[in-house]
Amino acid sequence: MNQAANAAPLLLASASPRRRELLRRVGLPFEATSVAIDEAPLRGERGAACALRLARAKAAAAAALRPGRHVLAADTVVVVGRKVLGKPRDAAEARAMIELLADRWHDVVTGVALRAPDGAEWCEAARTRVRFAPVAEDEIERYVSGAEPYDKAGGYALQGAAGWFVEEIRGSASNVVGLPLEVVRRLAAAAGLAGPALDGR
């Protein structure tokens, strides 16, 4: 990859501590900024289309705030059948989401957008299948009484307390956390950006 093209660290357009931790874990240099956009799915919008649209919107918003930088943005949704789940607004929505996910398979879809300073974009969506075990009503009540569900697509975090509910994963685990590293790697290569040092420092 072209080291010169990555003279300034990648700008991650996300307030998510999980996405930041994933990039830190592999040693990819980055700076982070948060952007505010309307994340509601459009009527009839499918999961991948929604996630990609929102990722591109986040990248564009961050690029407007910090011009001259390569910007990485992502958005994750949970899909059950044709229903797209974003972040629950309250306990009733969080409860309904966990009840819907219990004892069945669902898809976690993350759209990733990498935007160059000249406006060129590389985009890709990742999909992971996740199966929840049956979840008892008292478990759901205890779970939604905590803080975890309310800033997570589908109302749960694989790496958090809701890991207790997960029986099986087919596909990228980092995608379920919120940033599919295999997609970031491909997009960075396509954009000519330098990868991480991979030396653990």
- The domain that holds 80 is classified in CATH as 3.90.950.10
Tally of domains in the chain: 1
| pLDDT mean over 75-90 | 92
* Burial class (CB within 10 angstroms; exposed 0-12, middle 13-18, buried 19+) of 127: middle
- If you average pLDDT over every residue of the chain, what do you get? 92
Q: Which domain holds residue 70?
A: 4-191
Within 10 angstroms of residue 70's Cβ, the number of other Cβ atoms is 24
Would the pLDDT of 174 be above 70?
Answer: yes
In a domain, 196, yes or no: no
Q: Answer whether 27's CB lies under 8 Å from 196's CB.
A: yes
Residue type, 42: L
In a domain, 201, yes or no: no
Q: How does pLDDT run across 29-50, given as a tens digit for each residue?
A: 999 999 989 888 888 889 999 9
Handedness of CA 60, 28, 48, 160 (dihedral sign): negative
Would residue 138 show up in a list of annotated catalytic residues for this protein?
no
Predicted confidence at residue 7, as pLDDT, reads 62
In a domain, 198, yes or no: no
Confidence of residue 11 (pLDDT cuts 50, 70, 90): very high
In a domain, 100, yes or no: yes
- DSSP letter at 104 equals S
Predicted confidence at residue 8, as pLDDT, reads 77
In a domain, 133, yes or no: yes
Q: Quick one: what percent of the chain has pLDDT higher than 90? A: 77
Query: CB under 8 Å to 118, separation ≥6 — which residues?
Result: none
**Among 193, 148, 158, 150, CA closest to 178:** 158
Model pTM score: 0.89
Query: CB under 8 Å to 9, separation ≥6 — which residues?
Result: 29, 30, 31
| pLDDT mean over 63-70 | 95
Task: Write down the catalytic residue from 38, 75, 103, 107.
Answer: 75
Predicted confidence at residue 43, as pLDDT, reads 87
Within 10 angstroms of residue 151's Cβ, the number of other Cβ atoms is 14
Predicted confidence at residue 196, as pLDDT, reads 86
In a domain, 199, yes or no: no
Predicted confidence at residue 77, as pLDDT, reads 93
Predicted confidence at residue 5, as pLDDT, reads 45
Would the pLDDT of 197 be above 80?
Answer: no
Q: Answer whether 89's CB lies under 8 Å from 105's CB.
A: no
| pLDDT mean over 165-192 | 95
In a domain, 197, yes or no: no
